[in-house]
C-alpha cells in the first residue's frame, strides 16, 4: 500500500499503460480520477477499480482539444479535493514517412502526445504548489531519444515530452513537486494496432531482450516515481523500461 489515500489522476486510463497504472495504483491504495476520450473504457475501468473498495471518478475528455484537458483536471480537483499524483499517459501512435505527413496529422499528434501533457500539468500545478507537494509522471517513449523511421512525428512529440518535463522539473522543484518521465520501449497494447506488422517484426528483432513488454511490467516504475521514499531522489529523470533498446 505504497500509495494509500494518495489522490492520483491518470490520463489515457481506458487502455494499455494508463489502464495498467490505474489498476496498479488502486492496488497500492490510491484514490483515482481517470481521464480518457473512451467513455465505455472508463466505465469498465471505474468498475474494475471500484472493486478494490476505493473511490474512483472519471472524466470523458478529448485531450487533443485546447479546453477539455483543463476541464477534466478541474473536475478531478473538485472530485478528489486535490491532486497528489498526475500521470499523463494518453497518446496516439501513427506511421508515415515525413514526405507524406500532412499538417493535420502532425498537429493532431502534437496536440494529444505533447500539448495535452503541458495543459494537464499547467492545470494541476497550482494546487500542487499550494499544498507544497506533488508527483508528475509523463509517459514519453524511447523513440523520443533514438528516433525511428516512419515515426518522425511521434518521436518529435515524445522528445518534446522529455524536454518539457526536464524543464518543468527545474521550475517546480522549489515547491516540492517532482516531475519525471517514463520512456518505455514497445509494449503490447492496442496502440500497436496503428503500426504495421512489418515494422513491429523488425523492431522486435533489434530488441536485446527479444520481445515486447506487457503493460503490467511498467507499473512498478510508475509506483516508484510516485511513492515515498522510493521516488524522493528522482527529479527530471527518465526511467527506461525499454527492453535494452536504448542505453543512454
Ligand X SMILES: NC(=O)c1ccc[n+]([C@@H]2O[C@H](COP(=O)([O-])OP(=O)(O)OC[C@H]3O[C@@H](n4cnc5c(N)ncnc54)[C@H](O)[C@@H]3O)[C@@H](O)[C@H]2O)c1
Instruction: Tell me which residues touch ligand X (CB under 6 A).
Output: 12, 14-18, 36-38, 41, 61-64, 89-92, 112, 139, 141, 184, 186-187, 189-192
| Active-site residue identified among 154, 164, 212, 234 | 154
Which residue, 4 or 211, has its beta carbon nearer to ligand X? 211
Which residue, 162 or 187, has its beta carbon nearer to ligand X? 187
The DSSP-derived string for 108-151 is HHHIIIIIHHHHHHHHHHHHHHHHT-EEEEEE--THHHH--TT-
Q: Min. distance of Cβ 231 from ligand X in angstroms? A: 19
Q: Min. distance of Cβ 132 from ligand X in angstroms? A: 28
Q: Min. distance of Cβ 164 from ligand X in angstroms? A: 13
User: CA 50 to CA 64: how far, in whole Å?
Assistant: 28
Q: Min. distance of Cβ 116 from ligand X in angstroms? A: 7
Q: Min. distance of Cβ 138 from ligand X in angstroms? A: 9
User: CA 82 to CA 141: how far, in whole Å?
Assistant: 28
Which residue, 107 or 228, has its beta carbon nearer to ligand X? 107
Which residue, 138 or 227, has its beta carbon nearer to ligand X? 138
Look up 153 and say whether it is catalytic.
no
Contact (CB, 8 A) for 68 and 105: no
**Nine cell digits for residue 37:** 476520450
Q: What are phi and psi of 240, to 5 degrees?
A: -120, 70
Give the CA dihedral 73, 242, 110, 188, nearest 10 degrees.
-80
User: CA 90 to CA 72: how far, in whole Å?
Assistant: 13
Q: What is the CA radius of gyration of the chain?
A: 17
**Nine cell digits for residue 219:** 507499473
Which residue, 112 or 238, has its beta carbon nearer to ligand X? 112
Q: Which residues are catalytic?
A: 154
Amino acid at each position: 500500500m505504497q500509495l494509500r489515500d494518495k489522490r492520483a489522476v491518470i490520463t489515457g486510463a481506458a487502455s494499455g499503460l494508463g489502464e495498467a497504472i490505474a489498476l496498479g495504483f488502486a492496488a497500492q491504495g490510491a484514490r483515482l480520477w481517470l481521464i480518457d476520450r473512451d467513455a465505455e473504457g472508463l466505465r469498465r475501468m471505474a468498475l474494475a477499480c471500484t472493486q478494490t473498495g476505493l473511490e474512483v471518478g472519471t472524466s470523458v475528455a478529448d485531450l487533443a482539444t485546447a479546453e477539455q484537458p483543463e476541464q477534466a483536471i478541474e473536475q478531478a480537483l473538485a472530485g478528489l479535493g486535490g491532486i497528489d499524483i498526475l500521470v499523463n499517459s494518453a497518446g496516439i501512435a501513427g506511421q508515415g514517412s515525413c514526405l507524406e505527413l500532412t499538417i493535420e496529422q502532425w498537429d493532431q499528434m502534437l496536440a494529444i502526445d505533447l500539448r495535452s501533457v503541458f495543459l494537464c500539468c499547467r492545470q494541476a500545478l497550482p494546487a500542487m504548489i499550494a499544498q507544497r507537494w506533488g508527483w508528475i509522471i509523463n509517459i514519453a517513449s524511447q523513440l523520443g531519444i533514438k528516433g525511428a523511421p516512419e515515426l518522425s512525428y511521434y518521436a518529435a512529440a515524445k522528445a518534446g515530452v522529455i524536454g518539457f518535463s526536464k524543464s518543468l522539473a527545474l521550475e517546480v522543484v522549489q515547491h516540492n513537486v517532482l516531475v519525471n518521465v517514463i520512456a518505455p520501449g514497445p509494449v503490447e497494447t492496442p496502440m500497436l494496432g496503428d503500426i504495421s506488422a512489418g515494422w513491429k517484426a523488425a523492431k522486435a528483432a533489434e530488441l536485446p531482450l527479444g520481445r515486447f513488454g506487457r503493460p503490467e511490467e511498467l507499473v512498478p516504475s510508475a509506483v516508484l516515481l510516485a511513492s515515498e521514499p522510493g521516488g524522493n531522489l528522482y527529479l527530471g529523470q527518465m526511467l527506461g523500461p525499454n527492453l535494452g533498446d536504448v542505453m543512454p
